[in-house]
Structure 1
Amino acid sequence: MSNAWRSLLLRNLSRISSRTPCIRHPDLHVSVPKPQTLIHSSSPFLAPIHSLCFTNRRWFSSLPAPDGNDRDRVLVAEIFAKPLTSDEIKAELESRNLLLDVNMVNSVLKSLEGTPKAAQRFFDWVSESEAVRLNSKSYNLMLEIVGTEGRVEEFWGLVEIMKRKGFGVSKGAFLKVSESFEKMGLAKDCERLKEMYFLNSHENVVGRMCPAICKILRSENESEESIRKKLDELDVSLSSSLVVAVLERIGQYPKKASTFFRWVEGNPSFAPDGRVYNAMARVLGREDCIDEFWGILRKLRNLGYELEKETYIKVSDRFHKWKMLAAAVDLFKFAMAGSDKPSVHDFVFLLKKIVVSDDLDLNLISTVVRTFINGGHSIKGSVFDTVLKSLKSVGKLGECDKVLKAMEEGGFAPDSYVHEKVVIGLCNAGRLEEALQYLDNVEQAGYKLDSKTWEILVQKHSLAGDLDKALSCFNKMLERKGSGDVGCAFEVLVNGFCQKNKAKEACKILEKMVTKKNVKPWHSTYKFLIERLIRQGGIKEAFTLLGLMKSHGFPPFIDPFIDYICKSGSVEDAMGFIQAMTVKEFPSRTVFLRLFEGLFKEGRHDVAHGLLHKCPGSIRNHADILDLFYAMKSDGATAAAL
């Protein structure tokens, strides 16, 4: 059946050759590169570049050739299907202008599985000519072909060659060959293969060889050359798992790790992958190895590998711990340029670390924000809230305006909410002048800030004792916001004046604001100011507030007046109160009754009689009033008789 397949293959190849005369064009120059140019460099960082240089390189017609790789594979298989000598094979390859690379070799071996003699001839020729450096896959493909044929001596000989080259038996080859051995009754060979495969699996190799390698690396006073020699003598088959395990164990000794890594890079049978580079980066991500660290990251990126999340977190945490903020920002930029970008949490964490540092570097803030936004993210106002909390925790809240400016330079677009936070932050930090100027600027720029922001400014100036500034802020608020929603701010202003024992001045301001600027104070503002005026000897000024309260629809606040008059007020004070309460008619008799009852209770009968004498007849002759005075007179006569 294999001969029939070969005949069919050769007939098809003949037809392909006859349809493609351009392959044998006599005028084309044939160039067969020297073998060493096809061998991959010992440096893993240059290997992909060489592969790109020699893969699909052509010296024939410039016309596009469809399915070029498949055609080349078939042509190579055709050559090695013939019983040709080594020189004849070379001549055939040159005449057909074919170049081999490791991918082509593996593809041809795969296609020659059904013709083991041709596969053996092809494998031997490539190995002897050294035109291509065979890899683990190449050997395992040949191992499958030999093993499934039951050629046990050749199989085990090839296994020994693979061991010397640092290659292990792949899972695919193991399964296919062990199945064939069982079917052929090769029980001992099958058992031997299973035992060898188990002992040389990744888990077992790592468990056995990692401690041995680390022991060599930890040797004191050993030169690098001596360490390399001992490592070579181990004759270990390297894998990514083994290399990573070693680097993790000796990570606290970066120089030893670097020695080991250079030895790994120089191993012709192993090319470090992304896992290995990330493990080495985790070792070198420290202050005393920073140049080597960036060198590893450049290699990692140039080879097309990604920075792992674990590497970013571990190294950035170390940079933060050692206060290497510039390095942490550079690492953030590097990670953002990859496919697995840092999260919003990572961004905020880095931002917080910068703002709480001893020396606040605004350029780093701009860089981090710019990098994050350029990475396709947006920044919400809640992020700035977090920044403010961090600034407050280290007593740097007064720097919030500078931090926001730095974030804006990085591309952050603050809204009115954020600007309000800055004003409040500056106020809480005691930078009232800057807060007022900032508020003025942002509102002129078109932002509409909440009235609460102005209230805080008025309050902070009042508490600081700068009443003129507080009043000035309130006037600006009126200009910007109008008089519709200023009640809270005005109460804060009045309270500030009263705290400084300037209730009379506050009363003048209130009267002016109400009559000239259409401000409507809260009911609580009137009540508070009346109490403070009476307490600070401003009873007459307090009288004026009663009429203003009534004009705003508030019920009169009479309790403080009655208490004051009954305890220490004069007849004139009482009449002034009654007149203030009078709009079209006198107050109700209830007010008079409360006054007289209070005066009698305090024993101030002369003031009560003086007030009664000045009251209108409707009050003097009212039955309730007469009964009250008669009762007081009777009580007085009884007390005198006793």
Structure 2
Amino acid sequence: MDKTTRKLIDGVLKNTNNPKLAWHLVKRVISSPSSSSSSSTQHLVTITTRILATAKMHNELHHLHNLLLSSHNYHIAHPSLISMVRVLAQLGHVDDAITHFKSLRAQFPSLSPSLPLYNLLLRSTLRHHRPGFVSWLYSDMLAARVAPQTYTFNLLIHSLCESRAFDHALQLFEKMPQKGCCPNEFTLGILVRGLCRAGLVKQALELVNNNNSCRIANRVVYNTLVSRFCREEMNNEAERLVERMNELGVLPDVVTFNSRISALCRAGKVMEASRIFRDMQMDAELGLPRPNVVTFNLMLKGFCKHGMMGDARGLVETMKKVGNFDSLECYNIWLMGLLRNGELLEARLVLDEMVAKGIEPNAYTYNIMMDGLCRNHMLSDARGLMDLMMRNGVYPDTVAYSTLLHGYCSRGKVFEAKSVLHEMIRNGCQPNTYTCNTLLHSLWKEGRTLEAEEMLQKMNEKCYQPDTVTCNIVVNGLCRNGELDKASEIVSEMWTNGPTSLDKGNSFASLINSIHNVSNCLPDGITYTTLINGLCKVGRLEEAKKKFIEMLAKNLRPDSVTYDTFIWSFCKQGKISSAFRVLKDMERNGCSKTLQTYNALILGLGSNNQIFEIYGLKDEMKEKGISPDICTYNNIITCLCEGGKAKDAISLLHEMLDKGISPNVSSFKILIKAFSKSSDFKVACELFEVALNICGRKEALYSLMFNELLAGGQLSEAKELFEVSLDRYLTLKNFMYKDLIARLCQDERLADANSLLYKLIDKGYGFDHASFMPVIDGLSKRGNKRQADELAKRMMELELEDRPVDRTYSNRKRVIPGKLLKDGGSDWQDIINRDAGSGIALKTLKRVQKGWGQGSISSLQPQQNDFLDYYDGSG
């Protein structure tokens, strides 16, 4: 290389950061006659091509190509152009490389490129996902009489696998010996990996078991198969393949065992995975590989995922002893396990331990913590954690903001969620479709339809592409609001493109249609199941059936939820035979019965009092390993009680407790009502005591028992229970206390009725003042006019005070009054117009009015209380 050329190359290299000047220098040299050698020109072109390609100066590259061709010296032009193509391919400019290569082949058809250049171009096209060029390159290679090598065939087979042309790939694999190339372990590995990724694992196994392939199959090939078998939950096949590896002398390594452990943990077979893990630790004499960090992490993840926290803690201690618990990944797995299992305090200690060890939490660590806090509704702590992130220099990403936003939405705190969204945008973190969908779903759930529509409009303005989930949220919201026709229109619009078939009044349909590429949001099974469920709930079964048929016509496979929707609907209408026909169709299409299926069928059979069939279903659930829930038991208890077999229902109560299923208020309500109906109040009261111990001392239980005692004529017991309820400051909304007072008066127990009234007053209760009237009537009939007048006076004083009924107590002190118990108020006209004792009531009121000088009766109407209206939310 002469000094002039050397200086030029140095000048070009010095101007690498100034590609325009470098190109100017090169252009002058190549354009002028030069005595430079072929090698020096080739070196200069290589440097120049790299500079121009990096600067994306495509026009200049094309100019350089033409300059080389115009030199009319193929000894310089041809190798220089090959260098140019090689550099472009190496830099990943595949389109430019192929363009220049095609031009080169057209200009110099008699000069064959080398095999390494073809291999380089093939490798580059595959790496940058341009499989379309492969076929042309291979054809040109054959035309140039360049014999491919095994490596070339490996690239071609890889390309065919990427294009899912497996038949052609297998044919090429078989023809390789005819082309003078023998497949090697890499060839087989490429084919096996491609088949496995496409889910054709059995075909891959057949290929490996072929006599010609068996001799070149190595551990990597077998590990690929084992891993795929495990992913497909074909664990038995994986075990047999591991045994075959041992027979062939291809000993499984730690990757093989890690694949098995990962698959078993994913399938919930953690104990089986633990056995393999233990063998790897203990049975060194068997030649098993020792577990590595990946093995430990897989087992830790498996224990945590399935709630085996004792085993997980023991494993963490072991990892610390052997020095395998010192990476950020280990801590992140452990943190996620603790938080997903509600161990919040321990998770906080682990986070402190990380920092003490010098392992800085990353964004993923904080996101794990954020998710755990939000799952446990500790939203203020989650908010504080985000502030801590920023103080530590870790800025929240879309996942962090979306997690916090979802946490607020899950608690119905839409205002706070919208604040998070605004903060997110303000801090330069762009929300994604998931973020918007989360808030949109919450707005629908809270019934804030206008805000949901505004949200959709903003998504459109900001060019957020709605997905199927977005449309499903809209469909679900419309169904919840009873706008089923609009929901149906949305589903139709998801299949088609254009607003012409839509009602202009359907703002949501128009809005959805106006959003870009809405036609790409194709309906899925959830879309149709949502719409079908909405139609079934309002009894539009025929329309629901049509949607089901449309779903099948669109090649959308219904799942158990879809079928359960129909089964529930038929069972609620008492159409049991129709429900069982749906069930047969469900099983015929490969959908298994779920807990919801059984609950619906039990409900339907119960309405027909088919107890024997119900127990048959219960036994079937046990055989299939489906555990009944509280809904299942309550349905069976209802059926037994309505069939006059309440005593049999009690055994179910014991069964529930034995299985760790806590009966709820509804469970006891059914039983107490049944025994009260048969006048077995002793058992009813015993059940009441049990209910208090299990469900807590809730007003619903006290009011239920009180009302049943009263209806059964057990006045003394009812009075006693009512007094206990007053002592506990329970609300009176569901207590039929007026009937108790009236019944006591009818039984000449005026003293008891009177004492109840004064107890209500003393306890600070506001109540329906019509309760006074039976007592006043009774006293007047007995001639106790003075006592009747005093009671009437007290009644009017309370009326003037306008006391609401429900009161909340804290530390036995009155805090805030609530709503009036009696619907529509308790004005005097209601009392005057009473049928029973109205004459005596009218005389009493006239006497009181004359004596007290209170003016007209209308002046005694309750006065408006602005504060109470505001507190109650009515203002």
With normalisation by structure 2, the TM-score equals: 0.24
Which of the pair has more CA radius of gyration?
1
Greater RCO, 1 or 2 (C-alpha within 8 Å, sep 6+) = 1
